Amino acid sequence: MTANLNFQPAKEWNSLRGFANLFRKESRAWWGTRRWWVNALLWTGIMGGITGLMLFIMPSMAEASGDPSVEAAGGPLAFGFQLGRSIFFDLGTLVMAIGVVVLCMDMIVEEKHSGLTEWLLSKPIARRSYVLAKICATLLAVLVLVVALPALAAYAMLGLRIGAPYPPIPFLSGVGIMVIHTWFYLTLTIMLGTLFTSRPPILGIAFGMLFGGNLVATLFQPLIYIMPLSLSKVAVLVAEGQALPAGLLWSPLFFTALWSLIFILVAVKKFETTEF
């Protein structure tokens, strides 16, 4: 029609047609609603709260009850510091994974059910843009709200506890491992959203892997080298500055990143062939 001559037509790389607009929509869902501050408070509150509890409250309680591990750690301050750091990197890694599964489980399924996906795909967009925009916008939000803010809070509390800044390199390395672990569960959950049409199988598989993975690994040891099962423990050791055997550090990291890429490819492929 001639009436649209005054417009600049949308020009994008054909393979990623519509990505920019979809990314803006997904980002808006995070940052343009109350969702960002609710999640910021929630995850910082949960992880900061647990870490703070271990750093500041638990040592005095353990000392009062005569727990010998306080003495073994070198006093209440060292005990609390080790406990807080260990809890943040070990339990925190699992909490972040739970958080990301909960936040992403409905992301695709709900839009498929409501008909929003169908409407979006009636626009001139490449289907992969839909999946990639969700992954990119969610990753950004999760990195800030679920990982970075709680990590900042934990870093501040660790420094406060020892009266000096915690060495940044081991801390950031530990956080980096948490990021890769979180990224794995994010891509897994989004992939499952493209494969299934309801929530239970998504939750079952994602949480089954998170909580049951270590059980399976006791039966088949090599799994810990090719799955993210040991990463929460690895994050603790790396944050403590301990040297780890290369196989125990790099192999699960490499394979976790590889799995994440495979999940993205499967999600894109599946979504491109799904009929609505």
- Contacts with other proteins by CB under 8 A: the residue count is 32
Q: From the CB of 132, what's the least distance to other proteins, in Å?
A: 16
Among 41, 61, 116, 215, binds other proteins (CB under 8 A): 116
Among 75, 102, 123, 167, binds other proteins (CB under 8 A): 123
Element (H, E) at 154: helix 149-162
Report the b/e string of 105-124 with b at 16+ CB within 10 A: bebbbebbeeeebeebbeee
121 binds other proteins (CB under 8 A): yes
Which CB, 3 or 164, lies closer to other proteins? 3
Element (H, E) at 82: helix 76-104
Q: From the CB of 271, what's the least distance to other proteins, in Å?
A: 12
272 binds other proteins (CB under 8 A): no
33 binds other proteins (CB under 8 A): yes
What single letter denotes the amino acid at residue 251?
S
Which CB, 8 or 65, lies closer to other proteins? 8
Which CB, 114 or 242, lies closer to other proteins? 114
Nearest 5°: the CA angle 53, 54, 59 is: 110
- Torsion angle defined by CA atoms of residues 138, 39, 81 and 87, in that order, rounded to the nearest 10 degrees: -70
264 binds other proteins (CB under 8 A): no
Residue with tokens 């393979």: 15
65 binds other proteins (CB under 8 A): no
Among 71, 118, 240, 272, binds other proteins (CB under 8 A): 118
Among 45, 74, 124, 159, binds other proteins (CB under 8 A): 124
- Exposure of 184 in the CB half-sphere (CA atoms within 13 A): 27
Nearest 5°: the CA angle 162, 55, 92 is: 115
